[in-house]
A and B are shown apart, each in its own frame.
Chain A
Amino acid sequence: MSDENRALQELADSDYKYGFVSDIEADTLPPGLNEETVAFISAKKEEPAWLLDWRMKAYRHWLKMEEPTWAHVGYPPIDYQGVSYYSAPKSPEDGPKSLDEVDPELLATYEKLGIPLHERAALAGIAVDAVFDSVSVATTFKDELSKKGIIFGSFSDSVKEHPDLIRKYLGSVVPQGDNFFAALNSAVFSDGSFCYIPKGVRCPMELSTYFRINAATVGQFERTLLVADEDAYVSYLEGCTAPMRDENQLHAAVVELVALDGAQIKYSTVQNWYPGNKDGVGGIYNFVTKRGKCMNRAKISWTQVETGSAITWKYPSCILQGDDSVGEFYSVAMTANHQQADTGSKMIHIGKNTKSHIISKGISSGKSEQAYRGLVKIQRGATGARNYSQCDSLLLGDQCGAHTFPYIEVKNPSSVVEHEASTSKISEDQLFYCQQRGLSQEDSVSMIVNGFCKEVLKELPMEFAVEAQALLGVSLEGAVG
């Protein structure tokens, strides 16, 4: 075996660093899904009647839908009745008021993940809405944000405190029946985050949420709704890791972004869910619907670094409804071992002079399969629309696959749509050049991969970029033979 292949083999074999299980008592619903399950979740959350109706409508719609099979991924059929749809860590009385009151084991879990909440909050100035299993357990900086009129909290709390806003925007970008997984989420979503930035307000800090999946066979159905009112600005960070598990865990999240006239939303994700072991056993199934709507002059920017999950099915999208609105998608996806990813973006140009930009970097190693699937749609009225898409794939080893499925639909002749794609391998020349300068093979591979991803990494907020680079490094760990 050549050095390169050996390096890649070890890269593929590297263990998941964050595999551990926290022992916290969970209040878990037995597996199964029916109308009672939906009603139970809604009741547990003390939701208003309209939201229960909304969930029921989604559930009934979901029953009539079929799981999509068009993605370039393969997995055994999911038994939706074998999944438990509710789990909440038990907290004394009404739950913690401050970090001091949070279950120490939970805090220890965050420590292991390298997310010391209080440190993070104090040093980095980040407000953290930590979601552990399905219930938010700590929220920081709420006061500082509320002075500016910014609402940032758990979805369930926000339903109680700001029902009008939720009712107005929930499902306005991703309707209940949008797709199979979004419908499932709409029926049984447990918790998530809600954020509202008032008119003209620039959110003074990066908002951040950490998601964790913990209790066995508990599907995680997060719901995130983010609304930036006219001329508001917000940068939102989402990052996650999960403990090691043998059975596959279902995750079907929905993220909805609303950017009203002149608003800007920057949404960054670092995703590192358990990808399964090197034989492809275990790992998270990640079926996510992320979509944003831009009104006049609004801008939504999705940036993601994805190294985890056994299966990823994810297409962060922008509906460029308003004139002069802008949509961006910057993505690094890395797959190893038996991971499968079918991911990309959709840009729907409706308004005049709308612009979109897609940069996708895929890195595949081991026996993994990765597909970029993108849709650029220029509607009849989108005069002067522009799109530029660039999809680059880097292959490590000779047993992985990279595929590109670009779909382009243009109905307005004045638009300009460009698509570029490339596939390359780390060359032996590059590797030897680095090693001849004294860098280990592992560091060489890591450096070349980071260089390949640079265009995307530079879009991440500073501290997140550092984390993302570390994550790529961890994912490449053990690359040297």
Chain B
Amino acid sequence: MLEIKDVHATVGGSEILNGLSLTVNPGEVHAIMGPNGSGKSTLSNVITGRDGYEVTQGSLSFEGKNLLEMPPEIRAREGIFLSFQYPVEIPGVNNTYFLKAALNAKREHHGLEALDAIDFLDLAKEKRELVELDEKLANRNVNEGFSGGEKKRNEIFQMAVLEPKLAILDEVDSGLDIDALRVIAKGINSLRSPERSMILITHYQRLLDYIQPDFIHVLSEGRIVRSGGKELALELEEKGYSWLEKEPAA
């Protein structure tokens, strides 16, 4: 589904990704771990096509299509979703209205008819319950005045509505207390399916207790230095990242 080959990427002229390769097949959940500055967020920005992240070498393809030729909105409509670490506030724009516009842009891209307001509200209600998102929040302005936990719930709510093929969850656990983490993890787990892949980007092993990945990759200095099953996370928790950084790339 997602094929990243030997990608080098620069931000503001400095190289952050340095020969990263990763293959994600349908239904797989991959966790990307690594210390600050190892390139985790850059990876998500490169996959989603954010302005300012330049791929200087290597290739990225999604379902056989070259991602580098697509602007960010086309990648999104093709089925790539990013749950932001810091979801941005958009004053004056109603959350429901925003999401309906997003969903209909995607539907149009796939040759489907736009959902009308009534059908959309039914869908939104059903999905809202997955993450126990308060109806009031769903009708406020996008992320405006939301707490950290509410913003994250809203991200997963959006994911549930947009039904991506590939979801990248960037530090979805940051700033959450344990109860909120449970709710979000439950929502995410309910969205797992044999067709849907996920990339979890996280600092901590804690998240992986709730969402069990199929693979774990450790990122260091812009490339994957170690891959393994979920037992790798425990080892990391125990030893920290430093023991990997000293070893040559796997």
Contact = CB atoms under 8 A, between A and B. Distances in A.
Contacts of A440: 73, 105
Contact of A451 (B72, B73, B90): B90
A450 interface: yes
Interface in A427-457: 427-430, 432-441, 443, 447-448, 450-455
B88 A433 contact: yes
A450 B93 contact: yes
Contacts of B141: 451
Interface in B37-66: 48, 50-52
A443 B77 CA distance: 14
Q: Considering residues A4, A427, A429, A437, which has the most beta carbons from chain B within 10 angstroms of its beta carbon? A: A437
A3 interface: yes
A451 B99 CA distance: 14
A437 B109 contact: no
Contact of A439 (B81, B82, B84, B101): B101
A69 interface: no
Contacts of B99: 437
A98 interface: no
Given A433-B90, A438-B73, A447-B101, A428 B51 contact: yes
- Main secondary structure on chain A at its contact with chain B? helix
A453 B92 CA distance: 7
Nearest to A456: B92
Contacts of B103: 438
Q: Considering residues B73, B141, B162, which has the most beta carbons from chain A within 10 angstroms of its beta carbon? A: B73
B145 interface: no
Contacts of A452: 91-92
Contact of B52 (A2, A436, A439, A441): A2
A455 B92 contact: yes
A452 B73 CA distance: 22
B158 interface: yes
Interface in B107-133: 109
A436 B47 CA distance: 11
Contact of A433 (B51, B71, B77, B87): B87
A433 B84 contact: yes
A443 B51 contact: no
Contacts of B72: 432, 435-436
A205 to B, nearest CB: 27
Interface string A444-481: 00011011111100000000000000000000000000
A437 B76 contact: yes
Contacts of B76: 435-438
Chain B interface residue bracket vs A: 20 to 34
A427 B87 CA distance: 13
Contacts of A441: 71, 73
Interface string A400-433: 0000000000000000000000000001111011
A440 B102 CA distance: 9
Contacts of B101: 439, 443, 447
B77 A438 contact: yes
A447 B52 CA distance: 22
B91 A436 contact: no
A35 to B, nearest CB: 52
B51 A436 contact: no
A429 B81 CA distance: 16
B73 A435 contact: yes
Interface string B79-100: 0011010011011110000110
B106 interface: yes
A438 B105 contact: yes
Contacts of A435: 71-73, 76
Contact of B102 (A4, A439, A451, A455): A439
B82 A436 contact: yes
Q: Considering residues A4, A432, A443, which has the most beta carbons from chain B within 10 angstroms of its beta carbon? A: A432
A437 to B, nearest CB: 4
A223 B206 CA distance: 71
B140 to A, nearest CB: 12
Nearest to B84: A433
Interface in A196-215: none
Contact of A434 (B51, B90, B91, B92): B90
A436 B48 contact: yes
Contact of B162 (A427, A428, A433, A437): A437
A430 B48 CA distance: 15
B73 A4 contact: no
Contact of B90 (A4, A448, A453): A448
A436 B78 CA distance: 11
Contact of B105 (A427, A429, A439): A439
Given A4-B51, A433-B87, A439 B93 contact: no
Contacts of A448: 90, 93
B91 A438 contact: no
A15 B1 CA distance: 42
B117 to A, nearest CB: 15
B179 to A, nearest CB: 26
A454 B94 CA distance: 10
A447 to B, nearest CB: 6
A166 to B, nearest CB: 42
A451 B109 contact: no
Contact of A450 (B73, B84, B92): B92
Given A447-B90, A447-B98, A453-B92, A438 B109 contact: yes
Given A438-B73, A438-B106, A439-B105, 9 more contacts: A2-B52, A3-B51, A432-B50, A433-B84, A435-B76, A451-B91, A451-B93, A451-B141, A454-B91
7 contacts: A429-B88, A433-B88, A433-B90, A435-B76, A443-B101, A450-B92, A453-B92
Which 8 interchain pairs have the tightest Cβ spacing? A451-B92, A454-B92, A451-B93, A437-B102, A438-B76, A435-B72, A438-B105, A429-B88
Interface of A: 2-4, 427-430, 432-441, 443, 447-448, 450-455
